[in-house]
Amino acid sequence: MPPLRQAQLLLVLLPLLLLSLTACPSIERVDGDARLLREGEELFQRGDYLNSSLRLERYIRSASASPQMSRARYWMGLCSLKLNRPKDACEYLKSAEKVSVETWLYAIGIASMRSGDMTGGRGYLEQLARQYPQGPEGKKAAEKLALTAAGYAVQLGYYSNGENAKRVAQTGAEKGLRTSIKRLDSGTGEAYYVISGPYASWSDALREADRIKAMGLDAVAIP
């Protein structure tokens, strides 16, 4: 090929070559970001909330302009709630895509209550229980509303037999706990919940749950 023709061909190909070189890292970054989001969702579904949150955090930092950002914030909000970071959960969920409206309402309701906004949190749960009364999240919302009517509490167990609930409540009372029994319709029959409380804050309920466990009783802070 004549030298002049070679030079002309290089002039045509050089811009294309430069474009391909500069585009590759961008493509790789987009693929990597998408992988982080996908892995974050998959890890959450498997119950590995810590590693899920680590991948989602990396995605949120590196893909701020992504149209999938609100979806990532949804999953990050759910992770934060599972990891007992209710204030972070509220922050993420308030600007998140509602991948599942029922799950979103339940999560932001519980996160708000645990962050100290009992009134706002109950508002979300009331909306959920009203709009989806037969759904699993709606039923859980109704349960939480009933058990926290007086404030934060600690659940010592729930029983289908009222006499068993009375025995546990009596054992708790003998250990100095403010126990009571809540009778609720579980959907498959009546259930008797033994609770202690109320407590002034979520952190107080968590500390009391740890103290009750040390007594040899089952205990979980609610909501």
Answer whether residue 28 shows pLDDT above 50: no
- For the chain, domains (ranges, CATH) are 3-143 (1.25.40.10), 148-222 (3.30.70.1070)
Q: What is the pLDDT of residues 205-220, one digit of tens each?
A: 999 999 999 999 999 9
Other residues' Cβ atoms within 10 Å of the Cβ of residue 92: 25
| Backbone torsions φ then ψ of 77, nearest 5 degrees | -65, -45
pTM for this model (two decimals): 0.81
**65: Cα separation from own chain's centroid:** 23
Per-residue confidence (pLDDT) for residue 171, from 0 to 100: 96
Q: Report how far apart, in Å, the C-alpha atoms of 196 and of each of 10, 147, 153 are.
A: 81, 10, 6
Per-residue confidence (pLDDT) for residue 4, from 0 to 100: 47
**Res. 45 pLDDT band, cuts 50 70 90:** very high
Mean pLDDT along residues 140-145: 95
Per-residue confidence (pLDDT) for residue 65, from 0 to 100: 78
**Burial (Cβ within 10 Å: 0-12, 13-18, ≥19) of residue 109:** buried
Residue 95: helix, strand or coil by DSSP?
Answer: coil
Q: What is the pLDDT of residues 98-119, one digit of tens each?
A: 999 999 999 999 999 999 999 9
CB 73 within 8 A of CB 60: yes
Answer whether residue 21 shows pLDDT above 50: no
Measured distance between the N- and C-terminal CA atoms of the chain, rounded to whole angstroms? 79
Answer whether residue 173 shows pLDDT above 50: yes
Q: Using a pLDDT cut of 90, give the percent of the chain over it.
A: 79
**Res. 32 pLDDT band, cuts 50 70 90:** low
